[in-house]
Amino acid sequence: MSPVSRTRKSKKSKQKGPARSVARPNRTHTRPDWFDAAVGNVIEGAPVLMEARGPRELEQATAELLGAELAFRIEHENQGLNFHGLSEDIVDEATTRIKKSAAAQDDGWEVPLRLLHGLNSLGTPALETATRAGLRGAAKWLRRVPAARQTPEWLTQRVEATSEVWEMRDAYGLRIAVIAGFAYPEATDPSVFLFDIEAGGILAFASAGVYDDVEQAADAWRKFVGDTGADARPVRVDSAEQLTALAPFIVEERTVMGDESRNLMDNWFRARRRVRDLDAVLTLPRPESPYGVDVCSSNGTRTPTALCRAWTPLTGLPRSGWRAGFLKPGSPSRRRGSRPPSPI
């Protein structure tokens, strides 16, 4: 699902760099005026990726590079926040620069190649499709560049879920942490990914990120949540059926609300990618609706679904109807951070 910006107060558009011409083969998305400058900013900031010494460092550096630009655009733009479209244009420009560099037999291909691999590591299906096409095209041109044969082998390594998962909940049951284990091939560089989920209304990520181990992720989550999460401790998840909170995030990118934190923008693509990686190993439960609503009735009946029955002990809210803590379709979105309506 492509992101659609909500109506917000008009803001004065700003640019961090001069507009640049960007190659856009076979792209059909609408391009606002600021796309060229945003693409240029990411491309010009990409040399920082050359400092990465492994796939985890590259993924993190790419997430922060892209996240900085997305956060800037949320702050300064009020329309056209199509981040999938923007990422595809970044891929196109990086691929074009690789081809030009290969034709000129210089070393200008190294940075955009790192960027393509970094974006590929973050990719939700739409972004991954674009990056893989870009990498295939770049590979054809780099065959004529001898130095390209010496690129690190780890560039193509992808993180994988280990099937180890822990869960935490705050005192109200409306803030949920899912901490999942990940590692690179042959169990190298193990880490965990924190999915911090607000469950008081339509399910939404509150924060996310990669941490060294479960305790480090748990400490970070308690700091994000505050007093209501101070006593929470990680509990091992025994079955994928317990991970109903992640189900809505299997679908594509969701709507930009305009109040997302920098942490969320760093993980805008990566969090959903990690959900899909986890789903590939555990097969997560599916909601009745891809938007995470109406999980407590089937075709308008009051028959509780399996997902609703799983949610009831989490939230303590009624099982049937819209009082199960979810918004009715067509209702205004609840601003994150506000109290959910009383279930009574």
Q: Which residues contact 185 (CB under 8 A, 6 or more apart)?
A: 157, 158, 160
Among 38-47, 258-267, 320-329, the range scoring the smallest mean pLDDT is 320-329
Higher local confidence (pLDDT), 145 or 302: 145
Instruction: List, as one string, the DSSP characters of 10-54.
Output: ------SS-------TT--S---TTHHHHHHHHHHHGGGGGG--S
Which pLDDT band, with edges at 50, 70 and 90, does 126 fall under?
Answer: confident
**pLDDT value for 263:** 95
316 within 8 A of 322, measured Cβ to Cβ: no
Predicted confidence (pLDDT) at residue 341 exceeds the cutoff of 70: no
* pTM tops 0.85: no
Predicted confidence (pLDDT) at residue 302 exceeds the cutoff of 70: no
Q: Which residues contact 313 (CB under 8 A, 6 or more apart)?
A: none
Counting every residue, how long is the chain? Answer: 344
**pLDDT value for 29:** 66
Average pLDDT, the chain: 80
The 3-state DSSP class for residue 7 equals: coil
Give CA–CA dist 112/126, Å, rounded.
19
Which pLDDT band, with edges at 50, 70 and 90, does 125 fall under?
Answer: confident
Q: Per residue in 9-33, pLDDT tens?
A: 444 444 444 434 444 555 556 788 9
Which pLDDT band, with edges at 50, 70 and 90, does 40 fall under?
Answer: very high
CB atoms within 10 A of CB 290: 15
**pLDDT value for 288:** 58
**pLDDT value for 15:** 47
